[in-house]
Amino acid sequence: MASDERSMRDRMLAGDLYIADDPDIARDSTRAQALAHRYNTMDPTDGAQRRAVLEELLGAFGPGSEIRAPFHCDYGYQTTVGARTFANFGLVCLDVARVTIGDDVQMGPGVQLLTATHPVEPGPRRDKWESAEPITISDNVWLGGGVIVCPGVTIGANTVVGAGSVVTRDLPADVVAVGSPARVVRSIG
């Protein structure tokens, strides 16, 4: 790890182990926190201004999409949201790695999309090494309230994840999954 000459930010963006002490990482985090704070304290009836802040914060924010405040993310630019997607109150998006949210996605309140991960071994974890794995939420997915999506997970199109579920592994398209860990309980259609 010590012989790698890339910046910690470059290591983070590549999905490799990094330590979050890089000034560029700190700058990106501060930018995201400031924009999220602005968004979370805006008049909820000022749709155009709210949309402008999300377009500045996120990597992409599709037409007709809405995220209700409060919304929290690590960096923002690592998250893309498709068209006509709705996220209810309290979305947490730890976008250390890419978070891709498709078109027509519905997310209940308190959903957490968590790309960040840490070494299981105590030494590297104590030394503050961390990494992340991307999350993909495909088109027309419904995540019920309080769903947690773990690092590296892809959820297939049209899938429904029941409230309070913890998604630790990929889910195929066109299924209903529930529980902790989330398990497929039936097919759709």
Burial of 1 (0-12, 13-18, 19+ CB in 10 A): exposed
In which element (H, E) is residue 177 found?
Answer: strand 175-178
Is 72 assigned a catalytic role? no
**Active-site option among 38, 84, 118, 183:** 118
Find tokens 């809405």 and name the residue. Answer: 66
Residue 51 is predicted with a pLDDT of: 97
Cα–Cα distance, 79 to 37 (Å, whole number): 17
Which string of DSSP letters, residue by residue, matches 45-93?
A: T-HHHHHHHHHHHSSEE-TT-EEPSPEEES-STTEEE-TT-EE-TTEEE
pLDDT at position 4: 84
CA gap 131, 67 in Å, rounded: 26
Residue type at 35 in one-letter notation: L
pLDDT at res. 21: 87
Look-up of token digits 């010590």: 2
- Rounded to whole angstroms, the Cα distance separating 45 from 39 reads 12
pTM over 0.85: yes
C-alpha triplet 26, 4, 100: angle, nearest 5°: 55
CA 113/CA 135 separation, integer angstroms = 7
Give the residue ranges of the chain where pLDDT is below 50.
Answer: none
Give pLDDT tens digits for 64-90.
999 999 999 999 999 999 999 999 999
The predicted pLDDT at position 186 comes to: 98
**Contact of 117 with 97, CB cutoff 8 Å:** no
Q: How does the average pLDDT of the chain come out, rounded?
A: 96
pLDDT at 2: 58
